[in-house]
């Protein structure tokens, strides 16, 4: 599999779809116009770095991307977080359990041809990156870091 954005997102999406409670994790360039089925995960790549190494045209490429987990529309809970927290907060642990598993990490590394492929952080909240099509959602944003071998 090539070391590119499409491969990275599709590998992560496949793993995320296997997490209990997730209805969908969208593959590369398949994000919906409107969220009708949730919880779901949408991905985008806001940044990459390409560092030249000692030899001409040899690069250390790194992809950084974001997965946004949309669990509940905030308005569905009367605008109050406390009603949705019991449903939303456990997904942080589900992501850690999934992406700190040695088998999952080994598979991601080998399939992507990467020397690093890891979940860097997760943030719980509403709005901001968790706003989609004008709707505020309760959920998580997860940051990923992948470095080419």
pTM score above 0.85: yes
CA pair distance 147, 131, nearest whole angstrom: 29
What pLDDT score was predicted for residue 79? 57
Looking at residue 80, what is its pLDDT? 63
Question: Do residues 70 and 97 lie in contact, with contact meaning Cβ atoms separated by under 8 Å?
Answer: no
pLDDT of residue 20: 97
Q: How far, in Å, CA of 148 to CA of 33, rounded?
A: 32
User: Looking at residue 114, what is its pLDDT?
Assistant: 93
Q: Please write the tens of the pLDDT for every residue from 115-132.
A: 999 999 999 988 787 899
pLDDT of residue 74: 81
d(CA 144, CA 28): 15
Q: Quick: pLDDT tens for 42-51.
A: 998 888 888 8
Q: Which residue has the tokens 């071998």?
A: 149
d(CA 55, CA 1): 24
Confidence of residue 57 (pLDDT cuts 50, 70, 90): confident
DSSP 57-82: T-EEEEEEEEEEEEEEEGGGGTT-GG
What's the confidence (pLDDT) of residue 108? 95
For 126-148, give the DSSP string. EEEEEEETTEEEEEEEEEEEEEE
The SS3 of residue 11 is helix
What pLDDT digit, counting tens, does each position of 63-109 carry? 999 999 999 998 776 656 666 788 899 999 999 999 999 999 999 99
């Amino acid at each position: 599999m090539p070391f590119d954005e499409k491969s990275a997102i599709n590998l992560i999406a496949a793993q995320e779809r296997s997490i209990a409670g997730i209805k969908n994790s969208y593959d590369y360039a398949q994000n919906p116009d409107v969220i009708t089925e949730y919880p779901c995960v949408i991905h985008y790549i806001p940044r990459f770095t390409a560092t030249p190494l000692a030899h001409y045209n040899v690069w250390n490429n790194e992809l950084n991307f974001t997965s946004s987990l949309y669990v509940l529309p905030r308005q569905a809970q009367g605008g109050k977080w406390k009603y949705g927290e019991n449903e939303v907060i456990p997904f942080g642990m589900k992501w850690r359990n999934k992406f700190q598993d040695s088998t999952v990490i080994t598979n991601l590394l080998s399939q992507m041809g990467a020397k690093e492929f890891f979940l860097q952080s997760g943030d719980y909240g509403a709005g901001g990156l968790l706003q989609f099509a004008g709707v505020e959602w309760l959920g998580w944003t997860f940051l990923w870091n992948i470095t080419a071998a």
